[in-house]
Amino acid sequence: MELINSMTNEMQQLNGGKSGHEQLLRGLSGQSCAYCDGTLTREQFQSDEAVVCDECGTPAARIW
């Protein structure tokens, strides 16, 4: 969870452009899920760009 908070703070310091969103998603991809033993992967979540756990399906970040 600390990683998510850290990435969120970093994202807020950026100008909020698309490159910031990409950096956030890229930084979370490959990390461990906070809710299970799965790994976060880039994919669509309800038609939005997201990083989602490959085991439980929980989104760690979603850009809409």
- pLDDT per residue as tens digits for the range 7-26: 665 655 554 556 788 899 99
Residue 56: pLDDT over 60: yes
- pLDDT per residue as tens digits for the range 26-37: 999 999 999 999
Sign of CA dihedral 32, 38, 35, 63: positive
Determine if the pTM surpasses 0.85: no
In terms of residue numbers, what domain contains 39? 2-63
How many domains is the chain built from?
Answer: 1
* CB contact at 8 A, 32 and 39: yes
Q: Can you tell me whether residue 32 is helix, strand or coil?
A: strand
- Residue (of 64, 3, 10, 63) closest to 33 by Cα position: 3
Q: Residue 61: what are its φ and ψ, rounded to 5°?
A: -155, 145
